[in-house]
Amino acid sequence: MPLSEQEQRLLDEMERHLLANDADVVSAPSGDRALSYRNLIYGTVLLLIGIGGLVAAVALGDTIGAVGSIIIGVVAFLAMLAGVMFAFTPVRRAPGTTPKSREPRRPRTDDSSFMDRMNTRWDRRQEDR
């Protein structure tokens, strides 16, 4: 069943709004936890050390023997895993450093559905033209 003209315009407007605000949604901090740049750098360094250890274990496999190569490889893998976990684990912020929202939220005064509110907004915009 095809959409009516008004429904199609409303859908197009909602898509444009979502695309315009998508970066804001993705980068919005969630509560009192956020990624730390320091942890990202330390985690990346640990990841690179692990990759270097893994390459060294493969390159030195003949000289240090199979058991030594496996041990170095496992330790290097664990270092890489710890680096990734350390880099992307959010840290708790101090209580006063939570960023404020850009504009204050208006309290909702009516209990209408989402589509009713969208239709009302659309009608107001069409009347203003």
The pLDDT value given to residue 18: 75
* Structural domain range at position 63: 31-90
Q: Does 6 fall in a domain?
A: no
Q: Does 57 fall in a domain?
A: yes
Q: Does 9 fall in a domain?
A: no
Higher pLDDT: 24 or 85? It is 85
Q: Does 113 fall in a domain?
A: no
Cβ neighbors of 121 (< 8 A, separation 6 or more) are none
Q: What is the mean pLDDT of the chain?
A: 80
Q: Does 99 fall in a domain?
A: no
Range from 29-33, 48-52, 101-105 carrying the lowest mean pLDDT: 101-105
Q: Does 107 fall in a domain?
A: no
Query: How many structural domains compose the chain?
Result: 1
- Model confidence at 95, pLDDT cuts 50, 70, 90, reads low
Q: Does 17 fall in a domain?
A: no
- Model confidence at 113, pLDDT cuts 50, 70, 90, reads confident
pLDDT at 27 over 60: no
Phi, psi dihedrals of residue 13, rounded to the nearest 5°: -65, -40
Structure token digits, residue 110: 């009516």
- Model confidence at 16, pLDDT cuts 50, 70, 90, reads confident
What predicted TM-score, i.e. pTM, was given to this entire model?
0.49
What letter represents residue 5's amino acid? E
